[in-house]
Amino acid sequence: MFLYTLISMINYLVNIIVIVVIVQFVLGLLIAFNVVNMHNNAVAAIWKALNAILEPLLRPIRRIMPDTGQIDFSPMVLIVGLNLLMILLSGIAASSAGA
């Protein structure tokens, strides 16, 4: 029962991280297409906060991945990796519940 609760909490945190990655991606597109301006203090503050949250997670992925030019695939790799982690943890919880 404790393992299931722990995995549920980890799943909740993973979902929050995925949402933050998506928000950063959308905000990055809005900035790139000049829909919102980085000279706006609110936009700049949100962008800096999102980068401060995600950079420790994305930096190791960027070091491992080959350079792809202008396209950064590290957020996608992070989301896939977190989902694989949740699949693995769910399998562990299911196998321990059956034992």
Residues 12-65 pLDDT 10s:
999 999 999 999 999 999 999 999 999 999 999 999 999 999 999 999 999 999
List the Cα angle 84/22/71 in 5-degree steps.
85
pTM beyond 0.85: the answer is: yes
Report d(CA 12, CA 68) in Å as an integer.
Answer: 31
List the chain domain ranges. Answer: 1-98
User: Tokens at residue 86, please?
Assistant: 């949740």
Query: What's the pLDDT score for residue 64?
Result: 94
3 contacts: CB under 8 Å, gap ≥ 6? 92, 93, 96, 97
